Amino acid sequence: MHAVDRGPEPPGLKPIRKRLTPRWVAYYRDGKGRKPTDSKWRDFHENVSKVFCSLCAYCEDNCKGDVEHFRPKSKFPEKVYEWTNWVLACPTCNTKKGRRWPTGGYVDPCAQALSAQPESHFDFDTKTGEIIVQTGQTIARRRKADKTITDLGLNTYHHLKARIGWLHLVSKALQGRTADDPANKEIVRLVASRESRLSSITRTYLDEQGYTYDEG
């Protein structure tokens, strides 16, 4: 999980938000009317996918994904058509998260403040492939990060297998050449890029191996 800057909302969203949000609020907050069936956020899949570089906002793996509501529709109906509430999520993470919203919420992949971003909450164990809570956190921050990992199943077997398998490939591609070897420059640039899958654990791995890179 890494920080993503969504940028400004796409043109055309504002009138849709104004038109459709009241029904969601009426149903979920005020208990009035029928359950809304619109899902116009799907029309913005391409915009969201581009912002997230076709990577799941939570597990960071390649995905076609779906537009996911970071704050669930049923609990935050006023944010159903808020650009700032949309992330790209793979089917696995999307299903795991569902309607959940614990007290204190989850770590926001699009948080603006540095202290609220994933990089200020998580670390990785490159031996096991696990995402772990950064040391030195307050109890509240630790709970939030831990809840994010647990509820989203970010350390389930298939994620660990994917991360370890990927690091193995990266290590093979680097062929044990030293960090300053020009032959490794392009590979390091590619795998460290936030546009590349699983780049957070990859950067941790590169740090450990003494490589320098531009996060670009």
Cα separations in angstroms, 211 against 1, 149, 181, 201 = 21, 28, 10, 14
Within residues 43-72, the interface with Zn ion by CB under 5 A covers 56, 58-59
Measure CA 211 to chain center. 25
Nearest approach, Cβ of residue 197 and Zn ion (Å): 11
Does residue 131 belong to the site contacting Zn ion (CB under 5 A)?
no
Overall residue count recorded for the chain in this entry: 216
The nearer residue to Zn ion, 162 or 174, going by C-beta atoms, is 162
Does residue 88 belong to the site contacting Zn ion (CB under 5 A)?
no
Nearest approach, Cβ of residue 192 and Zn ion (Å): 20
Does residue 90 belong to the site contacting Zn ion (CB under 5 A)?
yes
Nearest approach, Cβ of residue 136 and Zn ion (Å): 27
Contacts of 130 (CB under 8 A, 6+ apart): 124, 155, 160
How many residues sit in the footprint of Zn ion (CB under 5 A)? 5
User: What is the contact mask toward Zn ion in residues 9 to 48, using x (rule: CB under 5 A)?
Assistant: ----------------------------------------
The candidate with the shortest Cα–Cα distance to 5, out of 45, 41, 66, 57, is: 57
User: Which sign does the torsion angle of CA 76, 81, 82, 86 carry?
Assistant: positive
Radius of gyration of the chain (CA): 19
In whole angstroms, what is the distance from residue 84 CA to residue 56 CA? 16
The nearer residue to Zn ion, 58 or 76, going by C-beta atoms, is 58
Site residues, Zn ion (CB under 5 A): 56, 58-59, 90, 93
